Structure 1
Amino acid sequence: MQQGYSNAEACRIVGIDTRTGRKWRNGRSAERGKKAAPPIRTVVPPSGASRYLREDERIHIADRLREKATVRAIAAELGRSPSTVSREIRRNRTDGTRGQWHYRPHAAQARADARRPRPKPRKITSNPALRDAAQAMLDERWSPEQICHALRAQFPDRPEMHVVHETVYQTLYVQGRGELRRELASALRSGRARRRPQRQAYCRQPRFTTPMVMISERPAEAEDRAVPGHWEGDLIIGKDGKSAIGTLVERATRYVMLLHLPGDHGAEAVLDALTATAQTLPGHLKRSLTWDQGSEMARHRDFTLATDIPVYFRDPASPWQRGSNENTNGLLRQYFPKGTDLSAHTPEHLVAVADQLNRRPRKTLGWETPAERLAKLLAA
C-alpha cells in the first residue's frame, strides 16, 4: 500500500483476505486477537517536495491517528517537524459533539487550498471604518505602532478593527492600490515613500578589498596548540576610541607581544607595527595570524606579502575563536584600564608589561610561565 496499491490489491498480491489486511494495517494480529507491533511506516516525499503538506500526507496522518499513533511518530514517518503535524491537526480538524473531534484528510486539504490563494485582500482595504480611523491617526502623525494600540483601546470588542503595525506599513507602502493616500507616507518619521529593506546591498559587500581567508581554512595544527607559531591578534582601545595598543598572543604558549600605536590605529599604522614586530620572530614562529574583522586589518594582504605570515579572520560575533587573545586582553586591563589614554604608554613600558605577563605562571600551562613553555617548545 505504501507503493500506491489499494487495500484489496495489496491483499491479493500478498495472498491474504482483505479483512486480515485491514487488521495488519491497524497493528492487530490475526491470531487470538493479540496486538502486534505496528509496522514502521514512512512516506517518502518526492524530490523537491513543497514545505506545504500534500494530500497523501494528510491521508497518512488520518490513518495513523485512527491507529492511536503519537504526533511525534507520525512526524518521523513523514519526515516533518512534530510541530507541523500538530499544527495541521489543530487547524484542520472537525469538531464534533461532546467535545470530540475528527481529522478528515480530504476536508483538511480543501481548507488548506482555500486559505492558500494569493494575493489575499488587505484588512484595511476591505474595512472602510478601519481605513478611515487609521487615516485620521496618520493625519495626526501617529506611528503605525501607536495606531494599532489605539485601535485596540478604542474598539476592545471589535476584532475586525484590530491590526498589527506591519499591516499599516504594508498598506502605506503598497503601490497602485490607494488603500491609504500615498501622501500620508510623508507622515512617517522616516519620511520615506517606499519600504527600504533592512539588509541593503552595500551591507553585503566584501569587508575588505582583498578577500578574507576565514578561520575555517586555518591549518588543523593550529587547533590543538601542539605547534608554536600560530598567533592571535587584536586591539585594546583607549578613551573615546582615540588610542589603542595592539596585542599578539601565541596560541601554544600564551606568549604575549604588544604593539606600540602612539599616533593612530588605522590600517596603515597597524600594518607597520605588525610588520616590524613579526620581523623580529624566527622563521618557525611565523606560521599564521588570526584576527577579527576590524577595519585595522584592511592591509592584511600587504602584511602577508611582507612577512610570509598568512592571516585568517574569525567569524562575526564569534570571539571564542580567538579565546587566548580575549583572555589576555582581560589581563592587560590590569595595566591599561578602560577609559584611559593608551598613547601615554611608551614602547619600553609595553615591553615591561609583556615581560611581566610572560613570567606569570598560568594554570592552563600546568603552572609554567609562557616564557618557560616557549623555551621548551623551541628546544624540542
Structure 2
Amino acid sequence: MQREFWRLIATGVTTVEASLAVGVSWPVGTRWFRHAGGMPPISLAEPTGRYLSFEEREEIAILRAKGAGVRQIARAVRRDPSTISRELRRNAATRGGRPEYRATVAQWKAQQAAKRPKVAKLVTNQRLRDYVQERLDGTVRRADGTIVAGPVAAGWKGRKMKPQRADRRWVTAWSPQQISSRLVLDFPEDASMRISHEAIYQALFVQGRGALKRELVACLRTGRALREPRARTRNKPQGHVTADVVFSQRPADAADRAVPGHWEGDLIIGIGRSAIGTLVERSSRSTLLVHLPRLEGWGQQPAVKNGPSLGGYGAVAMNAALTASMTRLPDQLRQTLTWDRGKELSGHAQFALDTGTKVFFADPHSPWQRPTNENTNGLLRQYFPKGTDLSRWSADDLEAVARTINDRPRKVLGWKTPAEVFAEQLQSLQQPGVASIG
C-alpha cells in the first residue's frame, strides 16, 4: 500500500489524492509523507517471489483460522512446509498472550526484520559533518573577516520559509551539490571526505537519520521543509483552469490571424503590487491598456491573509476593468481571449457571461502561445520600465500610450499601423451585406 502511495506521489498528485487512491485516510498519507521528508523510504520495485507477499500471508491467516495444518497450508500457497512453519512461529501476533497469526501483523514484522539500517556517513565522520554544516549554516563575513549579523528572522516552524514574505537568516547557504563537488577540490587525497549531494538532502529531509538538524533546511535556497516530487512542481494545481478552457480547446480560427476578434492578454507588473492590463488583437496587433487603480484602503492597513486584494488586480477588480474595456468593442471583435495562468482571471466564467468573450489559458511556461502579447509587453516597457510604480498613471495616460503604440507602422502589417488595420476591420463590419463573424 505504501509502495503504491509513493508511486502516485511520484506522478505529481497531491498527498490527499494519493492517500484516497490507495485506501487510507489523508491524515495517514500526510504522516507518511512528512515522516519520510517527502522521499520514498522503501524501494518502489515490487518484491521478488523469494519472499512471502501480503496476499500469501492473508491466505495463510484464513487457512490457519480454519484449522488447516502446516503442510495443508504449504500446498495451498505452493510454498515449502518449513517456510510456513517459520512464518507462523516468527511473525505471529503475541500481544494477546498466545500466538495468533494475522496477516497485517505478520507483514509488519517481516518488514521490520528485513530492514538493514546503515549508519549515515555524516554520523560517523565528524570532520565531514562539520564541513557540510559550515557550508550550509556558516556565518556571512566581510572581507576583513568580521561577521555580518543580517536581519532578525523568525524561528523555523517546520514549514517552508518563503523568502518573499519575511526576512531570512543570512547564512553561507551552499547548495548540497556545491558542497559535494567542492570536497573533491579541497580534499583531493582524502577519500573519506566524500559525500553525494543526495546523501546531504536525505540527512536534511528524512527524520531519524541523526546527522543534520532538520532546521538546516531553512538554509537551502528554496527553504522548503519537505522534499517536493519533481512531477508535482510541474503540475501545480490551478482550480480556475478547467479542462474546457485550456489552450488546446481554443477554436481553430483563433490561430488564424485572418479572422479578427481574437485577443491575447496579460499583466505587466511594477513595484508595490502595481500592474497594468494589456490586451492585443491578434489580427491587427491593436493594443488596449487596462487601468487597474489601487482600491480604497491600500497602504493604510496591513495586508490580511486571504483577504481582498487591494493592489488593483484581484479577481473582482480585474473582471470589472476587463469588462469595461472589452464591452466598448463590437460583439464581432471580441470572440476569444487567451490569457496567462495568473489567478487574476480566476473569475473568467463571469467575464465570459458579461462580455461574450470566451477565455482560454495558455499552457504553463509557454509564452510562445501568446506571442503578440509578449512582443507588445516588451514594447510597453519603454514607457513602463520594470521596478517602477505603475499605479501613478491614470486611465488617460494609458490611453495616450496605447494610441502611440497603435500609430506605429508595423512591417508585419505591410507598414500599416495597427490603428489603420483595426479601423478597416470596424468598417468592414459596418458594411451592409457583410456576414458577421460568429
TM over 0.5: yes
Q: Deviations over 1:75-100 (max 9, x none)?
A: xxxxxxxxxxxxxxxxxxxxxxxxxx
Instruction: Name the residue aligned to 1:225.
Output: 257
Which residue identity is paired with 1:274? L
**Alpha carbons 1:271, 1:300 under 8 Å: kept:** yes
Match of 1:326 among 374, 377, 384: 374
> Over residues 188-230 of structure 1, what are the superposed CA-to-partner deviations in whole Å (9 max), with x where a residue is unaligned?
35499x8533559698453234626221221111112010000
Q: Which structure 2 segments of 5+ residues have no match?
A: 1-44, 46-113, 138-175, 295-311, 429-433
- 1:304–1:162 Cα change, 3 Å: same
Note the residue ranges of structure 1 that are not aligned, 5 or more in a row.
Answer: 1-49, 51-117
Answer yes or no: is the 8 Å Cα contact 1:293–1:316 preserved in 2.
yes
- Higher-Rg structure is 1
Task: Quote the RMSD (CA, aligned, Å).
Answer: 3.9
Kept after mapping to 2: 8 A contact 1:145/1:164: yes
Partner SS for 1:374: helix
Higher relative contact order (CA 8 A, sep 6+): 2
Range with bigger deviation, 271-280 or 370-379: 370-379
SS at match of 1:249: strand
- 1:243 maps to 2:266: no
- 2:216 is aligned to 188
Once the two structures are superposed, the pairs formed by residues 1-380 of structure 1 within 5 Å of their partners are: 131=125, 133-134=127-128, 148=180, 152=184, 156-159=188-191, 162-170=194-202, 182=210, 184-186=212-214, 188-190=216-218, 196-198=227-229, 204=235, 206-209=237-240, 211=242, 213-238=245-270, 240-263=271-294, 264-378=312-426, 379=428
TM-score by length of 1: 0.56
Q: Provide closer, same or farther for how the CA distance between residues 202 and 302 of structure 1 changes in structure 2, counting only shifts above 3 A.
A: farther
Aligned residues: 257
Tell me, in whole angstroms, the C-alpha distance in 1 between the residues paired with 2:177 and 2:124. 15
CA distance in 1, matches of 2:135, 2:412: 60
Q: Is the 8 A contact 1:210 1:301 kept in 2?
A: no
Q: Which moved more, 1:146-155 or 1:229-238?
A: 146-155
C-alpha distance in 2 between matches for 1:372 and 1:288? 22
**Deviations 1:85-131 (CA, angstroms, capped at 9, x unpaired):** xxxxxxxxxxxxxxxxxxxxxxxxxxxxxxxxx99996x66x89964
Contact 1:232 1:290 in 2 (8 A): yes
Equivalent AA in structure 2 for residue 225 of structure 1: R
Q: Which position in structure 2 is the counterpart of 1:60?
A: none
Does the CA-based 8 Å contact 2:123-2:129 persist in structure 1?
Answer: no
User: Which amino acid is 1:252 matched to?
Assistant: S
Identity across aligned pairs (percent)? 49
Tell me how far 1:368 sits from its aligned partner.
Answer: 1.1
In structure 2, C-alpha distance between the alignment counterparts of 1:245 and 1:308, rounded to whole Å: 23
Residue range with higher mean Cα deviation, 203-212 or 217-226:
203-212
Asked whether the equivalents of residues 141 and 188 of structure 1 are also in contact (C-alpha less than 8 Å), the reply is no
Alpha-carbon spacing, 1:246–1:311, altered in 2? closer, same or farther (3 Å): same
After superposition, the C-alpha distances for 1:25-84 in whole angstroms (9 at most, x for unaligned) are: xxxxxxxxxxxxxxxxxxxxxxxxx9xxxxxxxxxxxxxxxxxxxxxxxxxxxxxxxxxx
Q: Distance in 1 between matches of 2:122 and 2:406?
A: 75
Letter in 2 for 1:163: I
> How much does 1:155 deviate?
5.6
Shift of 1:274: 0.8
Paired with 1:334 and 1:151, the residues of 2 have a C-alpha distance of 47
**Contact conserved, 1:234 with 1:291, CA < 8 A, in 2?**
yes
When residues 133 and 301 of structure 1 are mapped into structure 2, their CA distance, relative to the original with a 3 A threshold, is same
Return the alpha-carbon distance in structure 2 between the equivalents of residues 172 and 337 of structure 1.
41
Aligned-partner residue type, residue 214 of structure 1: V
